[in-house]
Structure 1
Amino acid sequence: MAEHLSSIRLDLDTTKIHTWRSIITLVVFVITNIIVLLPFHIPIYIPRLLRDAILDALGALRVIGPRRNRPSHVSSSISVYSEGQDDRGRHFVRFRFPMNFVTAPLIADLFLLAILAIGREEVYGGTIGANNISPIDIMAFFITLAYIAISIDASGLIRYLAFKVLQKAGKVGHRLFFYLYAFFFALGIFIGNDPIILSGTAFLAYMTRVSSNIIHPRAWIFTQFAIANVASAVLVSSNPTNLVLAGAFNIKFIDYTAHMIVPVVITAIVLFPFLLYIVFADESLIPLCIKMHELSEEAKARKPVNPNIPHARGNAEEDKDNPTNGEQEKLLSLEEIMNPFLDKGGAAFGGVIMAATLITLLALNASTPSTGEHPVFYVTLPAAFVMFCWDIGFGWHHRRETRQIARDGRREFERARAERLAQEEAMERAILNRSGEQAHISPVPPRPTATLETSTHCQNAVLEGIHYTTDPPSGDIKAKNSLPTDKTVEPLPQDDRSRGARPPADDAAIINEKQIPTTPNPQYPSEKLSGLTLIKNAGETSLASSEPEAEAKLEPSCSVAAGPERRGTTLVSLVADAYRWSQETFPTATAVLSHLPYALVPFAFSMFILVQALVTKGWVPVFAYGWDHWVNKTGTVGSVGGMAFLSVILCNFAGTNIGTTILLSRVIQAWQQIHEENGTRISDRTFWATVYSMALGVNYGAFSTAFSASLAGLLWRDILARKHIHVRGLDFARVNLPIITISMVVGCAVLIGEVYIVKSDVSNGP
């Protein structure tokens, strides 16, 4: 350990904490972590004229569409957005600026730079690296390895294996619970917690929904989240917190795994009966016999749908994940589980790449004298590039098939939406007719039924909602509902509709839903648009073909204006078209790139800089002296218990488990240097007990009291919300409290026994 200590030099001067800049640095750090824990929005009022001028300028530059084509209150093209209320006649517009785990640390760093509390030293140490922690290497390693793991998930392998586990367990509730528990634990060891949460959470949401006697999914989703984070503690590559810790103390990957695997495995073994028979001992949560809906033979024989292709399920997109659709929605969820998509080639190739990458990492890391000589991303970057090339090549080879699936599904989807909207409109007008109010009110402009969308490449014109732009004669409709006089079909920038979600009402690319009149009126004849006729009948609007071969004409040779002459083409629409084309041509690569944890990069760098500021301002040495006093009083057992408690608590209050790992690693480094300068040594037993108890705490701490204890927790909550399972913060803490308690008690007890067996009471190195 002496060689390792000689490479670490921290300023242990604690008198700096009395300066005003040092005090402000600590206050800013605390406030930042509170904001990460409790995000909010700041209302910002700007003059409406300034807002309109900015939007007009962006429209003139063709970044977004002209403002006259949108409701005046819509401004979602800007990163901060309006409340959505109609602000006409108001002098100021309110925007809501998000303060969350991305913006808060970044603003804190900028503020400290502005008051000269930090400078080049802190920024360099928080990005390039200092004291054996290299943030840029860690982020490069994690992002590239995450691409391989998420690509395996995108191939459908996790859902397919979960389906096989479900088949193996049958309908025996306790056996299925055990099989899924073991499956998520084994898979989480090798590919980390994020892919398990990405795919496994959705699988469990569907499974519990189609089970008639599972009243609440609580037991299944909380167990999956806990065991995925327990499993992520085994390998250095499974969690970025492990990378920070291994880099800070020059731990060989094989040594890290050798010390962590026993506490983690025993934790998993003890935790299972505790969850099954104590925490979730309720038949409404884990029934003895699970009653599931049966999938029809026709559905079983149907070719599985690739969820990465937009609108692959056609009109089922309208019903998917909608709990109000009853049996139809359950059948869709059941098909998602019992007839899963699997790209066998991509799954096999990804598995080989992942295995080769991990083996190479372990071999190179074990053979080199120092982890800093060869950055670990030297291995993962080429591997991720090979995986990316496979995804691109495979997508290009099957491009005709995937484009056809997307084209047919989108037509079916929009046709179903048009029919539904027409039925709703007819029902509304029938109610008005019965109430006798129709003669006393002005015509109510109904919703648009569909949009005729054209791509930049004009590959396909699809029924995505017609932007009808014929001006009505004056006097018929109020001026605010009038439209331009030319007859065009304007392509609207696409948003989440490419993923089957209903577009938000305040999107800048969506016209007012009550903009197109459909009441019978001779002044509004049917308009023929590229072989399509918008037919207006009393209380009904529908899309019909004016020619027998109308749909056949909706091909790349379409007559809708495209390219330079296409009206309304903007930078936003071009990007949306390019993204749609990428989804249809390279579905796997696009899905993986869209799911990479990009937000982790600015967050981690900002937190590294903030912690480095605490180091240079004297606060980390203060914490280190306090920790030294605790260890002197309590010994090895106290160091394990104290560090385990601190790491779990700080995960919730110090910028997630990543921020906690950064801070505590610096504290332990300062603690080492204190003993070196005093001419004393920390015993190997006490030192490594402290380090590995922190490793347990920052991994297990993800399932403690707050979603923001880890980025995985935020991802887990958002996925469940999209599946209409809303977990409150209080419920998250209440359910997880006994789970984290038993996990940490068992893990720390095993760790104490381990270090007393394998570590000596003298300082001889790792």
Structure 2
Amino acid sequence: MAEDLGDIDIDLDTSIIREWKSIVTLVVFVITNIIVLFPFHIPLYIPRGVANGIVDALAALRVIGPRHKDLQHEAAIGHGHNGWQRIVAEHFVRLRFPMNLITAPLIADLFLLAIVAIGREEVYGGTIGANHISPIDIMAFFITLAYIAISIDASGLIRYLAFKVLQKGGRFGHRLFFYLYALFFSLGTFIGNDPIILSGTAFLAYMTRVSSNIIHPRAWIFAQFAVANIASAILVSSNPTNLVLAGAFNIRFIDYTANMIVPVVITAIVLFPFLLYIVFADETLIPLSIQMHELSEEAKAKKPVNPNIPHARGNAEEQEDDPTNSDQSKLLSLEEIMNPFLDKGGAGFGAVIMTATLVTILAINAASQSTGEHPVFYITLPAAFVMFCWDITFGWIHREETRRISRDGRREIEQARAERLARELREFEGINSSQKQGQAQQTGDVDTQPSTSHSHPLDAKSQNQNDATSGIEPRLSLANSNTDDDNTLGADKASIKPSSDDVQLHDGRSTSATNTPGEVHVGPEKSSGGVLAGGLDEKSRIPFEREMDAEKQPRSGVPAHQRSEKATLVSLTIDFYRWAQETFPTAAVVMSHLPFALVPFAFAMFVLVQALVTKGWVPVFAYGWDHWVNRTGTIGSVGGMAFLSVILCNFAGTNIGTTILLSRVIQAWQKIHEANNTPISNRTFWATVYSMALGVNYGAFSTAFSASLAGLLWRDILARKHIRVRRLDFARVNLPIITIAMVVGCAVLVGEVYIIRPDTPYDA
């Protein structure tokens, strides 16, 4: 099963942990993982003169446009600030530096390098590779294979298959729940969990939204998230954690699948009735009969819209995203799931490429004498390039059509925003006029009549009008301030939407009759502030999104270099990105969804774990693990490693960081027995390895969103569909699911290793 592990180079000397460098390294590692779990922002105050000088220098270099007068800043100085705050606002610019899974590990590595706690050995081992773990090969393989998987998703195949399952399941709730559960498990096995989460989560959000008797989407979205991560444990290619583990112990891909498929499939089979009849046994969650809104014949006859084309649906996109527009949103959501777009050519070609790639990988990996002979990205890189060429060629052939669709959609959005802004201006002027008349009448009454009880309702009415006006003025001021940037119609949609309360649903019941329909909370938390797949956490992403929205507003369809006197690097980049979206919509969408944030995070975590190895901490953990196994045997090794891996997914830098750390611990544990000339039994060693594989895959649906990047992506997609999941509710709902899954998976694994693994000494 594995060969050539005897050359693992790990120093087992634990006396080094008393040195200050070792202590600092451990402290930095713990703090880094806490920050990954609870991201935040650090306020940075830069002197306004320095900030303006930097902006002016960048403008002189034509990187950005010239600096404009900051009307919002002046308004902030003049209103709502005390003396000290006004002084700070006048002389300093406040920036918010994000501390998240991208920045925290990188800063930790730089800090350890600066104090010479780590050096070339740790950086080389964490990037190029050490002890059979090659980060570069793993990242190259995962990103290239992810391109093929996400391209298949972008073709609309997953959503189309879900639509067919919805038709087959009909209105029978339990049957539909089973069909979707089986579909997501089957697809997740071959293409991984990320594409399932990208399309499947949005589909379920739409489906539960247009059903009149599914009160809460909890059962559907949590079951989908769990089964997608369970399925990703079968193939090495489905999850980067599997790649790390297979590389660390030189496991052939076919051997990995042969050992994992039985525990995973039985877990999925046993888990389903628990979800249906115990965890989500509520008619408001999974009704016996689902009442779906009907799609009109006219809507059914419409040509499906390609969601990859920017502004393809025109103003319908904004109407759907507006939680105050409940009926229209449901109609548009119904069109999205009952009349889905499918690029048959792209889906078919992608399926062929993915199948050929996986078969080739398994065949070559099984035929090789060692898994390190031929890096697997030698296969996935050409396959991804072929898929990329297909997407580019297909986009170029249909460029005239996609550009026309995008152009028409932009015009429709521009017109709708102009009409909405004009309507708000008229309402604002009407309220002001009414308020002035009321004040004049009140003044006249006071001058000519003594005060009576009739003045109180008038005062209350004036106060209410004033309150209503106060909600409109800031939005109009923001819209008007954008005219300085040649973006009169560019007030972002968040700034001109009427303010509304969120609907908070607990156990399927609304807590307020006045809440806005369409927004669902699994608890009262407004935002989570976690890290998204793109590398920015949610709180830090919002300002950037609004700036990009403003930049992306249609400016009469005129390119940047014709709109202003001088084009800048930023304007040219924006124009190029918009051109790429309109010309190559599929390729642009796939590139935007690739988990690039995983690359710097994984490299930085590899370096940190390698630092723990060289500073003696991993051998310490390995000695502790050895004591546990000596006392509990094979069954204890399965239960202990399963528990550790699930827990550490939430506290050791996601399931990727956990896999890196625990792989090093097991390698050191193996080295301890070699040094003592007391070999580990074959049964115990592989029971430990495969129980870790179960734990790091299943651990994604445990207690924290940051247990996996898939969890952060899942939360972000739901938030965009007006379904907000609290951290506490994520843990509460997942606790029985992860308990059942791990108990079943580990029980089957114990039986498997006792049947097929001998109790002879393990020979590396």
> Do 2:491 and 2:550's aligned partners in 1 also have CA atoms closer than 8 Å?
no
Q: How does 1:196-595 map to 2 (within 5 A)?
A: 196-436=196-436, 448=479, 465=490, 507=547, 510=550, 563=561, 566-595=564-593
> Do 1:450 and 1:465's aligned partners in 2 also have CA atoms closer than 8 Å?
no
Give the Å deviation of 1:241: 0.2
| Deviation readout 1:525-578 (Å, 9 max, x if unpaired) | xxxxx9xxxxxxxxxxxxxxxxxxxxxxx78xxxx6864894252211111110
Q: How far apart are the structure 1 equivalents of 2:378 and 2:6?
A: 26
The residue type equivalent to 1:203 in the other structure is: F
Which of residues 586, 593, 596 in structure 1 aligns to 2:594? 596
> Do 2:2 and 2:249's aligned partners in 1 also have CA atoms closer than 8 Å?
no
Structure 2 CA distance for partners of 1:732 and 1:243, relative to 1, 3 Å: same
> TM-score of the superposition, structure 1-length normalised?
0.84
- Partner residue of 2:61? 61
Q: How far apart are the structure 2 equivalents of 1:104 and 1:43?
A: 15
- Partner residue of 1:678? 676
Give the Å deviation of 1:604: 0.2
Higher mean C-alpha displacement, 64-73 vs 293-302: 64-73
Structure 2 CA distance for partners of 1:633 and 1:453, relative to 1, 3 Å: same
The residue type equivalent to 1:507 in the other structure is: E
Structure 2 CA distance for partners of 1:57 and 1:430, relative to 1, 3 Å: same
Which of residues 716, 719, 722 in structure 1 aligns to 2:717? 719
Q: How far apart are the structure 1 equivalents of 2:621 and 2:735?
A: 27
Unpaired segments ≥5 residues, structure 1: 75-84, 455-460, 468-500, 514-529, 531-553
The structure carrying a bigger helix percent of its residues is 2
- Partner residue of 2:107? 107
> Do 2:210 and 2:292's aligned partners in 1 also have CA atoms closer than 8 Å?
yes
Unpaired segments ≥5 residues, structure 2: 75-84, 441-465, 493-540
Q: How far apart are the structure 2 equivalents of 1:466 and 1:29?
A: 43
Give the Å deviation of 1:466: 11
Give the Å deviation of 1:365: 0.2
Structure 2 CA distance for partners of 1:567 and 1:439, relative to 1, 3 Å: farther
Identity percentage of aligned residues:
76
Higher mean C-alpha displacement, 85-94 vs 162-171: 85-94
Structure 2 CA distance for partners of 1:673 and 1:759, relative to 1, 3 Å: same
- Partner residue of 2:514? none
Q: How far apart are the structure 2 equivalents of 1:561 and 1:633?
A: 71
| Deviation readout 1:223-280 (Å, 9 max, x if unpaired) | 0000000000000000000000000000000000000000000000000000000000
Give the Å deviation of 1:391: 0.2
Q: Helix, strand or coil for the counterpart of 1:313?
A: coil
Which of residues 604, 607, 618 in structure 2 aligns to 1:606? 604
Does the alignment pair 1:655 with 2:653? yes
> Do 2:478 and 2:491's aligned partners in 1 also have CA atoms closer than 8 Å?
no
Q: How far apart are the structure 1 equivalents of 2:545 and 2:251?
A: 52
- Partner residue of 2:149? 149
Q: How far apart are the structure 2 equivalents of 1:687 and 1:190?
A: 28
Q: How far apart are the structure 1 equivalents of 2:156 and 2:433?
A: 51
Q: How far apart are the structure 2 equivalents of 1:350 and 1:627?
A: 44
> Do 1:72 and 1:86's aligned partners in 2 also have CA atoms closer than 8 Å?
no
Give the Å deviation of 1:5: 3.1
Q: Helix, strand or coil for the counterpart of 1:68?
A: coil
Q: Helix, strand or coil for the counterpart of 2:692?
A: helix
Q: How far apart are the structure 2 equivalents of 1:170 and 1:720?
A: 24
> Do 1:70 and 1:508's aligned partners in 2 also have CA atoms closer than 8 Å?
no
Q: How far apart are the structure 1 equivalents of 2:7 and 2:392?
A: 44
Q: How far apart are the structure 2 equivalents of 1:504 and 1:137?
A: 32
> Do 2:43 and 2:96's aligned partners in 1 also have CA atoms closer than 8 Å?
yes
The root-mean-square deviation of aligned C-alpha atoms, in Å, is: 2.9
Which of residues 638, 641, 651 in structure 1 aligns to 2:639? 641
Give the Å deviation of 1:43: 1.2
Give the Å deviation of 1:672: 0.6
Higher mean C-alpha displacement, 567-576 vs 255-264: 567-576
Q: Helix, strand or coil for the counterpart of 1:327?
A: helix
Structure 2 CA distance for partners of 1:238 and 1:107, relative to 1, 3 Å: same
- Partner residue of 1:542? none
- Partner residue of 1:160? 160
Give the Å deviation of 1:348: 0.3
| Deviation readout 1:329-385 (Å, 9 max, x if unpaired) | 100001000000100000000000000000000000000010101001000000000
Q: How far apart are the structure 2 equivalents of 1:42 and 1:211?
A: 43
Give the Å deviation of 1:437: 6.4
Give the Å deviation of 1:49: 1.4
| Deviation readout 1:163-187 (Å, 9 max, x if unpaired) | 0000000010000000000000000
Q: How far apart are the structure 1 equivalents of 2:278 and 2:487?
A: 54
Q: How far apart are the structure 2 equivalents of 1:120 and 1:361?
A: 33
Does the alignment pair 1:187 with 2:202? no
- Partner residue of 2:525? none
Structure 2 CA distance for partners of 1:89 and 1:597, relative to 1, 3 Å: closer
Higher mean C-alpha displacement, 41-50 vs 338-347: 41-50
- Partner residue of 2:695? 697
> Do 2:3 and 2:370's aligned partners in 1 also have CA atoms closer than 8 Å?
no
Q: How far apart are the structure 2 equivalents of 1:96 and 1:315?
A: 33
- Partner residue of 2:534? none
Q: How far apart are the structure 2 equivalents of 1:428 and 1:565?
A: 31
Q: Helix, strand or coil for the counterpart of 2:325?
A: helix
> Do 2:5 and 2:250's aligned partners in 1 also have CA atoms closer than 8 Å?
no
The residue type equivalent to 1:92 in the other structure is: F
Q: Helix, strand or coil for the counterpart of 2:324?
A: helix
- Partner residue of 2:667? 669
Q: How far apart are the structure 2 equivalents of 1:570 and 1:238?
A: 41
Q: Helix, strand or coil for the counterpart of 2:287?
A: coil
- Partner residue of 2:451? none
> Do 2:315 and 2:413's aligned partners in 1 also have CA atoms closer than 8 Å?
yes
The residue type equivalent to 2:23 in the other structure is: I
The residue type equivalent to 1:140 in the other structure is: A
> Do 1:561 and 1:567's aligned partners in 2 also have CA atoms closer than 8 Å?
no
Structure 2 CA distance for partners of 1:357 and 1:506, relative to 1, 3 Å: closer
Structure 2 CA distance for partners of 1:311 and 1:2, relative to 1, 3 Å: closer
Q: How far apart are the structure 2 equivalents of 1:387 and 1:451?
A: 41
Q: How far apart are the structure 2 equivalents of 1:452 and 1:406?
A: 24
Q: How far apart are the structure 1 equivalents of 2:278 and 2:220?
A: 14
Give the Å deviation of 1:420: 1.2
Structure 2 CA distance for partners of 1:112 and 1:579, relative to 1, 3 Å: same
